Amino acid sequence: MKKVILLLIIMASSILSPAVLSQSELKIQKEYADNLFNSGQLFDAITEYKRLQFFDVEGQYGYYTNIQIGEAYKGGSRFDDAVTYFANAERTAPNDSLHFDAAINVIRVNILRRTNDNAHQLLDKLEKDIRFNDRMNEINYWRGWNFIFEDQWLVASQVFEKIDKNHPLALISKQTDKNKYSVNFAKVISYILPGFGQFYTGNYLSGLMSIGWVGLTGYWTVNSFVEKRVFDGLVIGNLLFLRFYRGNYQNAEEFAIEKNIEVSNKSLKNLQNNYQGIKP
Tell me what pLDDT residue 213 has. Answer: 53
Q: What is the pTM of this model?
A: 0.80
Domain at 20-178, CATH from 2.40.50.320, 1.25.40.10, 1.20.120.1200, 3.40.190.10: 1.25.40.10
Tell me what pLDDT residue 94 has. Answer: 94
Q: Where in the chain are the domains?
A: 20-178, 183-272
Tell me what pLDDT residue 256 has. Answer: 83
H, E, C per residue of the chain: CHHHHHHHHHHHHHHHCHHHCCHHHHHHHHHHHHHHHHCCCHHHHHHHHHHHHHHCCCCCCHHHHHHHHHHHHHHCCCHHHHHHHHHHHHHHCCCHHHHHHHHHHHHHHHHHCCCHHHHHHHHHHHHHCHHHHHHHHHHHHHHHHHHHHCCCHHHHHHHHHHHCCCCHHHHHHHHHHHHCCCHHHHHHHHHHCCCHHHHHCCCHHHHHHHHHHHHHHHHHHHHHHHCCCHHHHHHHHHHHHHHHHHHHHHHHHHHHHHHHHHHHHHHHHHHHHHCCCCCC
Tell me what pLDDT residue 202 has. Answer: 78
Tell me what pLDDT residue 192 has. Answer: 72
Name the stretches of the chain with pLDDT < 50: 1-19, 219-220, 225, 230-237, 241
